[in-house]
Amino acid sequence: MLDFAIFAVTFLLALVGAVLYLYPASRQAAGIPGITPTEEKDGNVPDIVNSGSLHEFLVNLHERYGPVVSFWFGRRLVVSLGTVDVLKQHINPNKTSDPFETMLKSLLRYQSGCGNVSENHMRKKLYENGVTNSLQSNFALLLKLSEELLGKWLSYPESQHVPLCQHMLGFAMKSVTQLVMGSTFEDEHEVIHFQKNHGTVWSEIGKGFLDGSLDKSITRKKQYEDALMQLESILKKIIKERKGRNFSERIFIDSLVQGNLNDQQILEDSMIFSLASCIITAKLCTWAICFLTTCEEVQKKLYEEIDQVFGKGPITPEKIEELRYCRQVLCETVRTAKLTPVSARLQDIEGKIDKFIIPRETLVLYALGVVLQDPSTWPSPYKFDPERFDDESVMKTFSLLGFSGTQECPELRFAYMVATVLLSVLVRRLHLLPVEGQVVETKYELVTSSKEEAWITVSKRY
């Protein structure tokens, strides 16, 4: 896995709790500017809650104290980095452990996967192969699912409001389940069942465990445990079916099954990829379409590229690779939406950022949401402007942050391709339009989403 996953932890309780679960001790990092604890037991957790989210808390903290800041989670000091320059001093591209995976596995109470460097490199390669093979083998299926959604939208009268979040989550669930786990999920009832259990598990990750509310509620805990058990049961059945057999259509799990992993590792890695890919794909597609509805010139330019590349011909994997502007639209979507506002790493050896010493086992946050809207790095940071990625240096910065290139995590790579196919199908035939007067407010969680349903309308191009 990568140095830090693109969709890494954005809710402090989840992130810190997961790290403390594995690394319960830490030394203080003295002299770093920041705030003192509000409460002896909880540190600055009340301040984070009052801010609305960890991202909003960090925005205020970095505005007050600069690019390197500190605060307290309980009795543990946490350091946050908020500019590209200080992140460059800390990010090590040779690291292979993935803090998002670590968090999810600890919250799910999984134990495997914390191997040495060579094992982590091997698992990273398996993930990459799994994504590549599943996308190549199932491109026609992905196109079919996109066209089914197009057909649904074409059937609507132009005045009808379309519930974008709901449709994108359903589309992502169908795409991920079939490309990751196979033909079992051709049955829509299986997809609905998976989505229900997925929602139950995901809603407790980063909340129910760490604030203690899950253990205090017998009903919620049973619902969570039952949902997780059902998801695991499905995966175990599929893993058993795929072992030692050849199938014409390759799915993500096949790469793990054929690797040097035991059954528990395959189960856990499949679970993590399935949980995360569904959400990151759904939110990437949702935000991309949201921005296109409000940026007429961007949508026009994207349509012109799609028309130029495909003409009246079919959408093919080879042609998809030529959609350069579409990739810029998706990169700008990730940046503008602050799709994953925070990532993190545990300081494994004593280090130095600027003039500040960071002791071993200090939790260091990467305030990506702050960095992605820093005007010194991104001119007009609040403007949705895909053309900013024409600049090679801008793309290098984006890659450094983990959103592209060699640092791009497999789940985001998967989501980029799914979103590219979907946008190609939809924009080719439809004008995507906003609902007048609607204001889409943002909710910063594990992956950034809208607080309420986002509505759009559509009209036919031809």
Are the CB atoms for 379 and 45 separated by under 8 Å?
no
**DSSP string over 349-375:** S-EEETTEEE-TT-EEEE-HHHHTT-T
Are the CB atoms for 141 and 178 separated by under 8 Å?
yes
How far apart CA 167 and CA 199 sit, in angstroms, is 15
Instruction: Indicate if the alpha-carbon torsion angle 42, 47, 50, 53 is positive or negative.
Output: negative
Q: Which of 299, 298, 368, 302 is nearest to 339 (CA)?
A: 368
Residues 6+ apart with CB under 8 A from 189: none
- Number of other CB atoms surrounding residue 441 within 10 Å: 8
- The contacts found for 389-397 with CB under 8 angstroms, 24 or more apart, are 389/327, 389/328, 389/331, 389/332, 390/328, 395/331, 397/84
How far apart CA 429 and CA 460 sit, in angstroms, is 6
Amino acid at 385: D
How far apart CA 125 and CA 15 sit, in angstroms, is 25
User: In the Cβ-directed half-sphere of 153, how many Cα atoms lie within 13 Å?
Assistant: 30
Residue reference for tokens 């992502």: 172
Q: Is 409 annotated as a binding residue?
A: yes
Annotated binding site: 409
Annotated binding site for heme: 409
